[in-house]
Amino acid sequence: MSCNNLALPAPDRGWILFSGGTEIAQDTDLRVLAGKRSDLVVGLPASCVSAFVVELPPVEEGLIESMIRAQVDKRGLSGKGTALIDYERIGRGERGDSFAVRVASDLPADFIVPTAAGYNTAAALRLASASSSVKATIWREHGRLILAISSGGTVAHTQVLSGKPEIGTALAREVNLILLGMKGESIFESSPPSELVLAVDGVGEKELIECRAVLSIPVRVEPVRVPARGEVRDRLLPAEIIRHRRRRRNLARNLVLLAAGLVLYTVVGVWIWKDAQATEREIASLERRIGIIQPDVERVQLAGQRWTSLEPAFNKDLFPVLQLSRITSALPGRGVVVREYRTTERNIRVRGQARDVQLANRLLEDLQGMDGFESYEWSMPNPKVEKNNTATFEIEGKLKNEGADS
């Protein structure tokens, strides 16, 4: 992914914001400079990045990353295991492939911009439009001179120069030593840097002459240029930003789910409210109908009550004398005495005393099976056994349809 806005280290201190290759702002605080821009690429200073070339034998693509990490560990650049490792293939040879490796470890907290689109090295952003030839470039970052060697537009090596931040003889000698050490890399054996570009403002003629007199390659001065767009390197994205983006995605997902839940809750609530309104209207309609037929219902109930009171006069099975006659006929020859017989409209109650509990139960069974008492449901609580071993009992009969008729 490429973006128009680039945040690069300033030559002296702070950061410079470029948009479309044009400087638009400068500030010492990166986060203040970035603001809320989401299309910003942050260029990591060379002081935070170690860049080198490594040559690997021909292997499967899946093994390349682990082999490069082994090279990073070998050079002691892993830090606390949180180092960001980025790499690109820059050449193929008989002995294997050459990779440009960039390692960023222990980034300062003020370099973390959660809203940024991504990160890259400042050297890669500055030299993205470099020609296909191998060349060395020097520019100034945070008051220090930076040397970068690029091959085909890809930065293969960066180094913060240890000398004074001025152009002169000392600088040229240090660059010669670095170029001499780079000859050990196979990619630079066949194609060594063809020239040195000084992308530094304010280089005088005297300093330029001193450099050219000492340097082993041609030197030319070139205005400081920044490309219009910058590429994002996903491998250089700090873990803090990855966690921030994950939290933001989770928050966005939770908000969507919450919004969906609110919509569903609203729909269900409206449906329940409408259903309640319809139910209230139906209840009101039923109440009006009940109010209309209530007098008729009361008249029917009154007629039922009158019929219940008059029914014994029409149903011979409810005549008290006939009921008593049937109860008397159900008594055994001896051993059972009826102390009380009572009938109240539809119920019969018989209290008495039996010689033993068995005779009381026998009387209950006889009443349950007697003709004329089929419409009654008979029951008897456990008889009470007296001191003389006799049993006091109470048998009750209820019409089976009493609940339906009442």
pLDDT, tens only, 304-357 = 777 666 665 566 677 788 888 888 888 887 888 888 988 876 789 999 999 998
Residue with tokens 């990591």: 44
Residue 168's nearest CA partner among 106, 212, 210 is 210
In the structure, what pLDDT confidence band is assigned to residue 405 with cuts at 50, 70 and 90?
very low
Q: What CA–CA distances, in Å, run from 173 to 50, 124, 211?
A: 22, 25, 9
- Which residue(s) pair with 119 in the sheet? 42
What is the structure's pLDDT at 265? 92
Helical (H) or strand (E) element with 19: strand 15-19
Distance CA 153, CA 25 (A): 27
pLDDT, tens only, 260-305 = 999 999 999 999 999 999 999 999 898 888 888 888 888 888 887 7
pLDDT, tens only, 230-263 = 888 888 888 888 888 888 889 888 999 999 999 9
Residue with tokens 């809750």: 265
DSSP 299-366: HHHHHHHHHHHHHHHH-GGG-HHHHHHHHHHHS-SSSEEEEEEEEETTEEEEEEEESSHHHHHHHHHH
More confident residue, 286 or 133: 286
Distance CA 95, CA 56 (A): 8
Angle of the 169-182 helix axis to the 205-214 helix axis, nearest 10: 40
Residue 216's nearest CA partner among 175, 182, 181, 185 is 175
Is there a contact between 30 and 15 (Cβ–Cβ < 8 Å)? yes
